[in-house]
Structure 1
Amino acid sequence: MSTHDADRAASPETRPVCADPDLTAEDEFSEVLRRHLVVLATTEYDDSDHGALPGVADEVKVLQQWWCDAGLGRRRFTVAHPELGQNPTLRQIEDALRSPEREWNDGDAAVLVVTGHGLTTREAHWIVLRSTSPTRVHKTALSTDQLIGWLADTDVEHLLVILDVCFAAATAERTVRLPEFPDTWLVLASTGAESPAEVGALTGAVAGFLDEVRSREGEQYDHGPYLRVDQFLDGVQARLPASQRLSLLKSELPRLGGPSPCLPNPRPQPAAPLVGEARRDLAIRAEDLEAHWAAKTWLFTGRANLMGHLVAALSAPPRTVVVTGGAGTGKSAVLGRLVTLSDTRFRRDHPELTAAVPPALLPPVGSIDAAILCTGKVPAEIVTQLLEAVGIPTGGGTTAELARWRTWLGGHARPVTVVIDALDESSNPVDLLASVLARLHPPAAAADGPLGSPLRLILGVRSPGTPTNDKPNSAGTDTTGTHAAAQPTGTNSARPYAEQVTKTLRGERVPVDEAPWWNTADLADYATEILTQTPRSPYHRPEHHQHATAVAAAVATAAQKSFLLTRLAATNLADRDTLTDPDDPGLAALLDDGVLGVFRADLHDELPDPDQRLRAIHLLRAVAFAYGRGLPWSQIWPLTANAVADRPGTYGDSDIAALLASRLAGYLVTDHEDGITVYRLFHDTLRTTLREQWRDLHDPPRSPSAAQDDQDDQDDQDDQDDQDDHA
């Protein structure tokens, strides 16, 4: 960061309202300083009633490979008390776990696996050791509830205990008498109360689950550093023999719905978020910077006039700016760039990208405090997200939360900036405007309205778009999506919603598809960047850049004012093996049906087989019906796909894995909601296409000759119209 940037970051005018805690924490369990794996395993027995268990060594190896994998980094566990893994004596166990040299405390996470034979008496469950005598159980065996009692007397906060021994579930009745466990503990028995353990059954089930987590199907599980407890339990139980089950040895349920530091995720970890959590909704995604279509330079330098105006607004006195435009005209992309470039983490971690940005297009560091995407969200959800972003306590209902927000805001002498996009895509846009946005300003600003408030709002709203003289397609419809209806459901006023927002909030309207903010050259530059910067593109070599410029101009002309169509078409061309001539009838055929046509071409190129193509359409269409952050994979996505296809039992995890391994995965955004991985289409126009025109997607693409015939017919009609006008 330059000295000038550092000065701006430290100034009262631009510093963030609250620091992002995730800027420095390596993971959400940063308080865990030490991680221990203890294996208590007995394989040989003096008493002939208990046969040897040579397979236990293999069980131990499987478990150690997971918890002690060096690839886990600081999430890795280290083996503690290794002597307990080889036929330990009762004294060794007591020395290690009852009277250790250093007792576990709240800075420790521990996993204890007990495997071998077990037995029950009338009053208790016992772990059989090598020297255990059936006639002297109290002296020669280890009481299971006593073992757990030793652990309960420590201050360890995060603990996983797996009892892979015969009749282990019988100890459940004993453990309820112990001091209450923390809800971060998970104590499991691997057998039914009346069934003996099968050697290798539990670790085989764990290993099978971990194999799936590492596979393509494992994409359905949480992508964070730790597995969710409920997913782990369900996955292991599904792989146990029918005679066995996992039993929770606790009088009350543990914390099942979240992750545990005792369950490190073995999947390769995704790239760290580019920005702090408060701005994640709208920021450019790390995946987009690495995607095959990404034009990194253009993402941060294009649309200079529009970007410069919004950057200037961040330093001007607070006001409301309403960014409008038709679907696909790039308003969300510009807001995403504004949010990303303002973020402290991004500016710190990516100086090579920000160095290429002209100073006039670079927002002050920390100048945006919160960024929210409204798609599919109810107004109350948006209010809660706003409060969480700036660290205000939530709860008590929307009215109470808004009151806390206004009180908090009224205490700030410096501006607070919030960017909110896709107002028209919320579940209730009218209520969002009247009951939330119009009530965000503090009471002290009532006399002057928004102009007297410390709150700076930058809002994104779809509008009808500016009419063009471009020709419609053969069906007589707009194909780019830029002129899609801008009147969201529930709006009764004849005035377009974008105008209602602007008037109600007394904002400045910035229509991105009108002069002076629209420049057709931006569209061609964007296409050129995709064609020339995609590594495997036939236009990537410098000697083909001039050709790419000509093709990009043809794409931009056909796309009218749609960055969405430009992106899809340029990506399709960049994925081909050979150059395409700008006058090629095939290019005209590709673009003639707009977003539908390019989407259809991608489907047919990737999946020539009609049945496979239909399966992909059904799977993508299921995602089109998701709201909020997206559709969960685990169980929900297959069920939804079967429902929209009206083909029960047709789709499963392998189908989804195949889709995500294909180029069609580029149409999806991977996100997280409540600790669960979810998927959504990257643009609302794609969702509409899949909902309403999915059968057209399955039809063969239009041939170049058909496109030329349509063009000739349109030219003849235009000539006739001109003659009529001059008659």
Structure 2
Amino acid sequence: MPSESEPRRFLIATATAHYKNEPSWDRPGLVDARQDIIDLFTKQFGYEHVSDLGLDPSQHQLTERLRAFCRSSEREDDDLVAVYLAGHGEVLDEEDGGGHVLLTHDTDPDDITDALPTELLARKMLSGTRVRRLLLLLDTCYSGQGGNELTAAALRRLNRAWGTVSETGLVIVSSAQPFEQAEAGAFPRTLREAVENVATAGHGPKALALEAVVQQMNAQGGHQRVGLTQVGLTGKVPAFFPNPRHDPQLTHVDLAVQQEAAWQREADRRDVELHTRLLKRAMGSADPGRHGWWFAGRRTALGDITDWLAESRSEPTRCALVVTAGPGSGKTAVLGLFAALAHDELRHTVPVHTLELQPATVAAARSIDVAVYAQSLTNQQLLEALTAAAKVHASTIGELVEALQKRDSPLTVLIDGLDEATTPDTLCTGIVRPLMEHAGHGIRLLLGTRPHLLPGMGLLRDQQVDLDADRYADPEAVMSYTMRNLLQADPASPYRTCGPTLRRAVAAAVAGAAGRSFLVARIAAGTLAAVPEVPDPQDAEWRANLPKHAD
């Protein structure tokens, strides 16, 4: 029962499940549908069920009993009245006068034009009555059409008295659009699911927003689209649906659940980036269908990154290290290897012994908390990725810095593809650099980018892992990678059957032309593997035409 300060709530629920003049119209499923509505409104929303109409009303019974209830002297201006009507509905042809009609228990199948015009309900319930807050649930075929006509009729019936009461209005929820048929029982089921869905509202709001309820109903799929129409509103929409979860003390729970969900969405995005970008580049195969690891060498680069990661997390010598170089150098492959080793599940799929990785490298990689691939990310998206990784709520870079300063140990983040972000320059100057300069020991950044962005972060190229520098040159790795491509890039590769001396001479020529570019080596070797004939590696013209790395 409502308290003295709350309005009274009344439900009238009826359904035409049987038709005395046309048994083929019978819809016995509507008996349970009506009961579902009664249970929902009385048990969840606190409505009092007015049972005068019951099941299978005639046209006269329907209109007169609705009219009698609405005109009763017991009605008060702030009463909340909900009416559920279920049954067959039809749209008349224009030559028959057009409009939506409700088929009642006594409708003559040979004279449907004499069925109950849906718009008549507006006059019966609103004209000369004290009803000011009316929710009409139309669960019929083509009910959207009926709702539109009811709306038009209601606008003609609303009088000035409506404006003297706050939070008044007529709300029509239609189970189907104007040209859609309705499935028996679908409307009550989707309504209950929407009401019980925390996505509609958590514990905070006292009432469920009608728009949110309808949105959730439509989000459940199905061929029907629920419609919502509101007219005569004075102030807020009447609270027809009290929130069954309302508990102010649990509002913080809602926020925590929403925050966890947002963090999980970010984690899912990182997982996609890892599998589709970083891992693929680390494995080194040009064929997305291949799952073997083609990574080769880069021992010096791996060693320097390992040393940086292994520095004391409480007092690191520098908070950022960048793996940089021109295109094709393999910087994403290097960073992708560390990202894979940092992942709890993927770590076990990396062939550590085959790749001859040092135990220190495997151990150091585990200090990386998250790997982000910045391609096409905006500044805001990177900020959201970092706040999710740190599990803090921060809407600005300043708030994130403040949160990181409070950490007992640094957050270690790998970010590759800075130069491929939506706005690389502002991302580096507006997000990355402030973290480096103001977050103290709260964050460590292992970055991947081309050299031109280094000045914007206040970094010197010769202090980074520059894969184009002589220190990191690895001709043996390029040669090994070239040989792997010649043998395995194409299943019909002629290098599988040619002599090892010839194969090695071709690989040496390709690797020599590629220089430090693993990308050039992959393209050239992959192209040769697809050609049936093996070239003469001593042919000066052939060697001159090999793709070369641009120094």
| TM-score in terms of structure 1 length | 0.41
Letter of the aligned partner of 2:31 in structure 1? R
Matched-pair contact (CA < 8 Å) for 2:295–2:333: no
**Residues 229-244 of structure 1: matches in 2 within 5 Å?**
none
Q: Would the alpha carbon gap of residues 364 and 499 (structure 1) be closer, same or farther in structure 2, given more than 3 Å must change?
A: same
What is the rounded CA distance, in whole Å, between the counterparts of 2:491 and 2:24 in structure 1? 61
The residue that corresponds to 2:534 in the other structure is 580
What is the rounded CA distance, in whole Å, between the counterparts of 2:138 and 2:482 in structure 1? 56
**Which one has the largest radius of gyration?**
2
The residue that corresponds to 2:445 in the other structure is 457
Q: Would the alpha carbon gap of residues 167 and 381 (structure 1) be closer, same or farther in structure 2, given more than 3 Å must change?
A: closer
What is the rounded CA distance, in whole Å, between the counterparts of 2:87 and 2:376 in structure 1? 52
The residue that corresponds to 1:212 in the other structure is none
Letter of the aligned partner of 1:578 in structure 2? P
Letter of the aligned partner of 1:528 in structure 2? M
What is the rounded CA distance, in whole Å, between the counterparts of 2:176 and 2:540 in structure 1? 67
Q: Secondary structure at the match of 2:470?
A: coil
- Kindly state the Cα deviation for residue 512 of structure 1 after the two structures are TM-superposed: 0.6
The CA RMSD measured in Å over matched residues stands at 5.5
Are 1:189 and 2:176 counterparts? yes
Q: Would the alpha carbon gap of residues 435 and 51 (structure 1) be closer, same or farther in structure 2, given more than 3 Å must change?
A: same
Matched-pair contact (CA < 8 Å) for 2:101–2:146: no
Q: Secondary structure at the match of 1:322?
A: strand
Q: Would the alpha carbon gap of residues 554 and 369 (structure 1) be closer, same or farther in structure 2, given more than 3 Å must change?
A: same
Matched-pair contact (CA < 8 Å) for 2:485–2:525: yes
What is the rounded CA distance, in whole Å, between the counterparts of 1:87 and 1:591 in structure 2? 77
Are 1:521 and 2:461 counterparts? no
Q: Would the alpha carbon gap of residues 340 and 581 (structure 1) be closer, same or farther in structure 2, given more than 3 Å must change?
A: same
Matched-pair contact (CA < 8 Å) for 1:325–1:461: yes
What is the rounded CA distance, in whole Å, between the counterparts of 1:295 and 1:304 in structure 2? 24
Q: Secondary structure at the match of 1:561?
A: coil
Q: Would the alpha carbon gap of residues 302 and 564 (structure 1) be closer, same or farther in structure 2, given more than 3 Å must change?
A: same
What is the rounded CA distance, in whole Å, between the counterparts of 1:582 and 1:164 in structure 2? 80
Q: Would the alpha carbon gap of residues 425 and 47 (structure 1) be closer, same or farther in structure 2, given more than 3 Å must change?
A: same
Q: Which ranges of structure 1 fall in alignment gaps of 5 or more residues?
A: 1-41, 53-85, 105-114, 144-160, 182-186, 200-228, 238-245, 253-272, 396-400, 446-452, 464-485, 487-496, 596-727
What is the rounded CA distance, in whole Å, between the counterparts of 2:471 and 2:91 in structure 1? 83
Are 1:250 and 2:258 counterparts? no
Identity score, percent: 24
Letter of the aligned partner of 2:535 in structure 1? D
Give 2:349's match in structure 1, choosing from 348, 351, 354: 351
Q: Secondary structure at the match of 2:532?
A: coil
Are 1:91 and 2:67 counterparts? no
Matched-pair contact (CA < 8 Å) for 1:539–1:547: no
Q: Secondary structure at the match of 1:250?
A: strand
Are 1:391 and 2:362 counterparts? no
Give 1:165's match in structure 2, choosing from 108, 131, 141: 141
- Kindly state the Cα deviation for residue 517 of structure 1 after the two structures are TM-superposed: 1.3
Matched-pair contact (CA < 8 Å) for 1:295–1:534: no
Q: Secondary structure at the match of 1:302?
A: coil
Letter of the aligned partner of 1:302 in structure 2? G
What is the rounded CA distance, in whole Å, between the counterparts of 2:182 and 2:34 in structure 1? 27
Matched-pair contact (CA < 8 Å) for 1:372–1:421: yes
Letter of the aligned partner of 2:454 in structure 1? A
Q: Would the alpha carbon gap of residues 561 and 372 (structure 1) be closer, same or farther in structure 2, given more than 3 Å must change?
A: same
Letter of the aligned partner of 1:165 in structure 2? C
Matched-pair contact (CA < 8 Å) for 1:166–1:191: yes
Q: Would the alpha carbon gap of residues 247 and 526 (structure 1) be closer, same or farther in structure 2, given more than 3 Å must change?
A: same
- Kindly state the Cα deviation for residue 519 of structure 1 after the two structures are TM-superposed: 0.7
Matched-pair contact (CA < 8 Å) for 2:144–2:177: yes
What is the rounded CA distance, in whole Å, between the counterparts of 1:428 and 1:308 in structure 2? 32
What is the rounded CA distance, in whole Å, between the counterparts of 1:345 and 1:402 in structure 2? 31
What is the rounded CA distance, in whole Å, between the counterparts of 1:353 and 1:174 in structure 2? 70
Matched-pair contact (CA < 8 Å) for 1:282–1:335: no
- Kindly state the Cα deviation for residue 329 of structure 1 after the two structures are TM-superposed: 1.1
Q: Secondary structure at the match of 1:368?
A: coil
| TM-score in terms of structure 2 length | 0.52
Letter of the aligned partner of 2:527 in structure 1? N
Letter of the aligned partner of 1:409 in structure 2? L
Letter of the aligned partner of 1:536 in structure 2? P
Letter of the aligned partner of 1:520 in structure 2? P
Q: What's the CA shift string for 1:164-214, capped at 9, x where partnerless?
A: 934544346779979999xxxxx873544xxx8699xxxxxxxxxxxxxxx
Are 1:305 and 2:300 counterparts? yes
> How many residue pairs are counted as aligned between the two chains?
374
Q: Secondary structure at the match of 1:569?
A: helix
Matched-pair contact (CA < 8 Å) for 2:412–2:444: yes
Matched-pair contact (CA < 8 Å) for 2:329–2:517: yes
Q: Would the alpha carbon gap of residues 456 and 280 (structure 1) be closer, same or farther in structure 2, given more than 3 Å must change?
A: farther
Matched-pair contact (CA < 8 Å) for 2:486–2:528: yes
Q: Which ranges of structure 2 fall in alignment gaps of 5 or more residues?
A: 1-16, 45-85, 119-136, 152-167, 184-214, 231-264
The residue that corresponds to 1:498 in the other structure is 454
The residue that corresponds to 2:235 in the other structure is none
